[in-house]
Structure 1
Amino acid sequence: MKVLLISTNRNPLPMPVMPVGACLVAQAAERAGHDVQLLDLMFVRETKAAIRDALVRNPPDLIALSVRNIDNNAMTDPHFFLHELRELMGEIRSMSCAPLVLGGAALGVMPEQILRFCPALCCVTGSGETVFPLLLENISRNGPLEDVPGIAWLHQEIFRKNRPPAGAPGCHVPDYNRWLDVPAYTSQLATFPLQTKTGCQFNCVYCTYPVIEGNDCLLKDPDRVADAVFRLAAAGFRDIEFVDSIFNSPRDHAMQVCEALARVRHGARLQCLELNPLHFDHELVQAMERAGFRGMGITLESAADPVLQGLRKGFASSDVHRAAAVVRDCSIPCAWIFMLGGPGETRHTVCESIDFARSQIRPRDVAFFNIGIRIYPGTELESIARREGLLKLDRQEMLEPVFYLSPEVDMPWLKQELSRALAENMNFISMDSLGLPFLPTIYRTGKALGMRPPLWRYTRVVRRCLRLAGMDV
Structure 2
Amino acid sequence: MSRVALVNLASLPMDGNEPIFPIGVRCVQDALDRAGHVTRLVDFVEAPDGVANLAWLDHDWDVIGFTIRNIDPIEISCGTHVDDYISFVERVRKELVRRGLDPLLVGGGPGFSLFASTLISKLGLDVGVIGPGETAMLDIAKNPRSFKGRGVVIQGSRHSGFLNDTLMHPSSLMGAYTSAHRAMIGVETRRKTCYQTCGYCPYAHIDGDNDGDLKPMDVLAEEIQGIHRAGFRRIFFTDGIFNSELRAAKQVVGLVRELALDGLTWSAYFTPKPFDEEFGELLNGSGVEAVVVSPDSLDDNVMRNLGKSFDTRHVLRFLERSRRNELPVRVNVVFGGPGETRESARNSARFINDNLADDELVLHVGYRILPATALSRQLKMDESRLLYPAYYPFDVDVFNWVIQDLDSRFITPGLMINLLAGRASARKMAKVEAAPGIEPAPGMTYLALAGRGGESGSGCHT
TM-score (structure 2 length as normaliser): 0.80
- Give the CA deviation at 1:369: 1.0
365, 383, 389: which is aligned to 1:371?
365
Q: Verify: 1:2 aligned to 2:3, yes or no.
A: yes
40, 50, 56: which is aligned to 1:37?
40
Aligned-partner Cα distance in 2 for 1:165–1:419:
46
**Could you tell me whether the CA contact under 8 Å between 1:71 and 1:401 is conserved in 2?**
yes
Aligned-partner Cα distance in 2 for 1:26–1:434:
40
Counterpart in the other structure of 1:417: 401
Counterpart in the other structure of 1:461: none
Deviates more, 1:365-374 or 1:185-194: 185-194
Counterpart in the other structure of 1:445: none
Counterpart in the other structure of 1:66: 67
Structure 1 unaligned blocks of 5 or more: 146-152, 387-392, 437-473
Residue 353 of structure 1 aligns to which amino acid in structure 2? S
Counterpart in the other structure of 1:104: 109
Deviates more, 1:325-334 or 1:162-171: 162-171
**Could you tell me whether the CA contact under 8 Å between 1:230 and 1:265 is conserved in 2?**
no
Alpha-carbon displacement from aligned partner over 1:33-84 (angstroms, at most 9, x marks no partner): 2222222124765554331x1112x23222111111111233x314221211
Deviates more, 1:267-276 or 1:164-173: 164-173
Residue 113 of structure 1 aligns to which amino acid in structure 2? T
177, 180, 183: which is aligned to 1:187?
180
Counterpart in the other structure of 1:314: 309
Counterpart in the other structure of 1:240: 235
Counterpart in the other structure of 1:384: 378
Alpha-carbon displacement from aligned partner over 1:91-110 (angstroms, at most 9, x marks no partner): 11121132211111112222
Aligned-partner Cα distance in 2 for 1:272–1:221:
20
Higher relative contact order (CA 8 A, sep 6+): 1
305, 321, 329: which is aligned to 1:326?
321
**Could you tell me whether the CA contact under 8 Å between 1:24 and 1:174 is conserved in 2?**
no
**Could you tell me whether the CA contact under 8 Å between 1:241 and 1:271 is conserved in 2?**
yes
Identity of aligned residues (%): 24
Q: Verify: 1:404 aligned to 2:392, yes or no.
A: yes
Counterpart in the other structure of 1:454: none
Q: How does 1:223-302 map to 2 (within 5 A)?
A: 223-267=218-262, 269-302=264-297
Residue 21 of structure 2 aligns to which amino acid in structure 1? M
Residue 80 of structure 1 aligns to which amino acid in structure 2? T
Aligned-partner Cα distance in 2 for 1:311–1:168:
35
Deviates more, 1:323-332 or 1:5-14: 5-14
Deviates more, 1:216-225 or 1:2-11: 216-225
Question: SS where residue 102 of structure 1 aligns?
Answer: strand
200, 203, 221: which is aligned to 2:197?
203
- Give the CA deviation at 1:421: 5.9
TM-score (structure 1 length as normaliser): 0.78
Residue 113 of structure 2 aligns to which amino acid in structure 1? G
CA RMSD of aligned residues (A): 2.8
**Could you tell me whether the CA contact under 8 Å between 2:7 and 2:65 is conserved in 1?**
yes
- Give the CA deviation at 1:224: 3.0
Question: SS where residue 70 of structure 2 aligns?
Answer: coil
Q: How does 1:153-192 map to 2 (within 5 A)?
A: 155=151, 160-162=153-155, 164-165=157-158, 167=160, 169-170=162-163, 172-178=166-172, 180=173, 182-192=175-185
**Could you tell me whether the CA contact under 8 Å between 1:273 and 1:297 is conserved in 2?**
yes
Question: SS where residue 354 of structure 2 aligns?
Answer: helix
- Give the CA deviation at 1:119: 2.0
Runs of 4+ in 1 over 6 A off after TM superposition: none
110, 133, 156: which is aligned to 1:128?
133
Alpha-carbon displacement from aligned partner over 1:411-430 (angstroms, at most 9, x marks no partner): 1x211223456781247665
Q: 1:124 to 1:160 in 2, by over 3 A?
A: closer
- Give the CA deviation at 1:229: 1.6
- Give the CA deviation at 1:343: 1.3
Aligned-partner Cα distance in 2 for 1:176–1:312:
41
**Could you tell me whether the CA contact under 8 Å between 2:118 and 2:384 is conserved in 1?**
yes
Residue 414 of structure 1 aligns to which amino acid in structure 2? V
Residues paired across the two proteins, number: 409
